[in-house]
């Protein structure tokens, strides 16, 4: 029996891309895409057996947190994974507290999202690094830890980019290695700089080494 999946996002390109991605998977997903919170609640009212909701936090009408609360209260069997551009730890924390089962950044590749969805459907929770959460809000079992992430809030993809920065690769080279656009790499680099409190690549590598995020051998050479 197909897994009922609702994608709630106000960007048409994202709705179309995710619909195509999940519809093509052999696991068998029945995908419906809606553009706002009202559409999401209407769809759930018609299909209360929905297994999964991919929820954008910022859409017209009710915001994502209001919708998350409503979905968890009215349809507790439906798992909610937040799909957002927000790297704000407060948003991560709030989503977890309100009952989201996962949190994925839109800058992550599609296979990361697919993995999170599969894990959540199997009964697990999937969040970025524990450093993004206060321990009294999200227990250890609810965190996806990135090895060496220490107390910093870095996603798995940001850790990959950071390692390549420390090895002296340019944004263009990193984009080629990770099969990303150069603009996406720039977004990751900016997020890394913010998380580390630095302003350039050499400082990022040194700060990451000093905080234990990277082993000693990873020192920027340029």
Q: How many CA atoms lie within 13 A of 20 on its CB side?
A: 7
Same fold, 3-142 and 156-211: no
Average pLDDT over residues 176-205: 85
Q: Other CB atoms closer than 10 Å to residue 163's CB: what's the count?
A: 18
Average pLDDT over residues 133-154: 41
Which contiguous run of DSSP H or E holds residue 64?
A: helix 64-74
pLDDT score, position 6? 97
Question: Any idea which of 14-18, 94-98, 193-197 has the lowest mean pLDDT?
Answer: 193-197
Task: Give 193's pLDDT tier (boundaries 50, 70, 90).
Answer: confident
d(CA 207, CA 151): 12
Please, are residues 81 and 54 in contact by the beta-carbon 8 Å criterion?
Answer: yes
pLDDT on residue 150 = 41
Proportion of the chain in helix, strand, coil states, percent, rounded to 5? 45, 10, 40
H or E stretch covering 59:
none
| CATH number of 156-211, picked from 2.40.10.10, 1.10.10.10, 3.30.2230.10, 2.30.110.10 | 1.10.10.10
165 in Cβ contact with 200 (< 8 Å): no
With 0-12 / 13-18 / 19 or more C-beta atoms within 10 angstroms meaning exposed / middle / buried, residue 105 is: buried
pTM passes above 0.75? no
Average pLDDT over residues 31-47: 95
Look at residue 158 in the predicted model and tell me its pLDDT. 80
Q: How far apart are CA 104 and CA 55, in angstroms?
A: 10
Domain assignments of the chain as residue spans, ordered by start: 3-142, 156-211
Residue range 72-100: mean pLDDT, rounded: 90
Residue 113: predicted pLDDT: 93
**Model pLDDT, residue 10:** 94
pLDDT at 152: 59
Q: Residue range 90-113: average pLDDT?
A: 89
Span 3-142: which CATH code?
3.40.50.2300
Q: How confident is the model at residue 209 (pLDDT cuts 50, 70, 90)?
A: confident
In the chain, the percentage of residues whose pLDDT exceeds 70 is: 83
Residue 185 pLDDT grade (very low, low, confident, very high; cuts 50, 70, 90):
confident
């Amino acid at each position: 029996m197909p897994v009922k999946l609702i994608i709630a996002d106000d960007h048409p390109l994202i709705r179309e891309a995710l619909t195509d991605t999940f519809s093509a998977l052999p696991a068998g997903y029945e995908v419906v895409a809606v553009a706002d919170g009202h559409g999401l609640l209407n769809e759930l009212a018609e299909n209360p057996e929905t297994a999964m909701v991919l929820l954008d936090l910022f859409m017209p009408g009710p915001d994502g947190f209001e919708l998350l609360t409503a979905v968890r209260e009215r349809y507790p069997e439906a798992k909610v994974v937040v799909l957002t551009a927000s790297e704000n730890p407060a948003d991560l924390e709030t989503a977890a507290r309100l009952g989201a089962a996962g949190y994925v950044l839109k800058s992550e590749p599609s296979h990361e999202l697919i993995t999170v969805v599969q894990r959540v459907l199997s009964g697990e929770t999937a969040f970025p690094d524990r450093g993004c959460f206060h321990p009294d809000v999200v227990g250890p079992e609810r965190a996806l830890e990135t090895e060496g992430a220490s107390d910093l809030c870095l996603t798995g993809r940001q850790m990959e980019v950071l390692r390549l920065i420390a090895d002296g690769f340019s944004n263009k080279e990193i984009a080629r290695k990770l099969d990303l656009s150069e603009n996406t790499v720039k977004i990751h680099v900016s997020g890394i700089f913010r998380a580390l409190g630095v302003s350039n690549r050499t400082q990022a590598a040194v700060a990451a080494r000093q905080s234990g995020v990277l082993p000693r051998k990873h020192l920027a050479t340029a």
